[in-house]
Amino acid sequence: MIIKQLETKEEQISMTSMSASSDAQNQQLEIFLNEKVVQNSDCFIMKEKERVIARGVLAHSHLAFLTFEDEVKQKDADNFIHYLLDSKTMENIRVHLYSDKINYEVTYKSLEHNGFKVIQTKKSHIIKPTKQDIKIEYASLQNKKNDFISLFEQVTKDNLDKDVLYDVEMFGVQEASKKMYDSLKETNFEADLWLYGIVKQQVVGFVIITRNDVDTAGIGYIGVLPQYRGNGYAKELLKMAIDVSYQKDVKELVADTDVENTPMLNALLDVGFEISCMETVFTHK
């Protein structure tokens, strides 16, 4: 059993066809590698003979695609995470771990054993997009970075998302906004999936949809400007996301929300989302 960086085409094929991963995750990682969104030097694997039994991608302050096959023992998982942390100098690494993941307990403990701390617990929701009756107008943000940063700075006021608040506390609101923009932009960016919500020619909020693969997408971020909260616009933004996803032939739309963000949890359920699993957000300084 060896731990190493990704090198060969054969290793890439094995890394992107792990049985402990969903087909969607395998396909997305394959796309990211082929399109050079991530480099081989970002990718780490554990091999038994010629088969990849663990993987992780460490890039852009995130440890992503972390997967252990069923037979991986706790000690080996711990060693794998330790190797990753030793191999690349990176601060404030973030990991998002879903409770429906194969080998979830081993993965969770391997992060804890290597100094990762839980900063947030979320509920993950899914819906099959359908055509919606939307009561507000919308338009595309069209990749206007300054517009996004300005909106993001505004919606952080009284924000209930601990993940966002953690970044704001660490970096300040402007730098956290830039990091959020860059992170979302790197995730299969499509300009017409970044949307303003408009009422009487005034922007009331925004929602960003990120493609995971051909059939699935997620709500990367949603926010209502403080002065317009309490008017049901969160539901309208969600319906907007569902409707646009339907137009784009998305078969499944995912939305994750802090367990203490009761208004957004209620809004998701009201527009038809269903809870699928729990999500834990870790960070490593």
pLDDT at 178 (0 to 100): 78
Q: Are 37 and 75 in contact, with CB atoms under 8 Å apart?
A: no
pTM for this predicted structure? 0.84
CATH number reported for the structural domain that contains residue 261 in this entry = 3.40.630.30
pLDDT at 165 (0 to 100): 73
pLDDT tens, residue by residue, 62-72: 999 999 999 99
280 contacts: CB under 8 Å, gap ≥ 6: 96, 97, 99, 108, 118, 120, 121, 122
Give the range of the structural domain holding residue 216, as residue numbers without chain letter.
Answer: 127-280
For the chain, the domain total comes to 2
pLDDT at 24 (0 to 100): 84
Last residue of a domain, one of 67, 87, 115: 115
Same-domain status, 74 and 158: no
Q: Is residue 120 part of a domain?
A: no
pLDDT at 187 (0 to 100): 63
Q: Is residue 40 part of a domain?
A: yes
Q: Which residues of the chain have pLDDT under 50?
A: none
Same-domain status, 146 and 269: yes
Same-domain status, 103 and 238: no
Q: Are 25 and 65 in contact, with CB atoms under 8 Å apart?
A: yes
Q: Look at residues 157, 155, 158, 164 and name the one whose alpha carbon lies nearest to residue 225.
A: 155
Same-domain status, 235 and 198: yes
Q: Is residue 121 part of a domain?
A: no
127 contacts: CB under 8 Å, gap ≥ 6: 242, 252, 253, 255, 271, 272, 273, 274
**Can you list the alpha helix ranges (DSSP code H) found in 114-224?**
145-155, 162-171, 173-185
Which helix (H) or strand (E) segment is 100 a member of? none
pLDDT tens, residue by residue, 108-136: 999 999 999 998 999 999 999 999 999 99
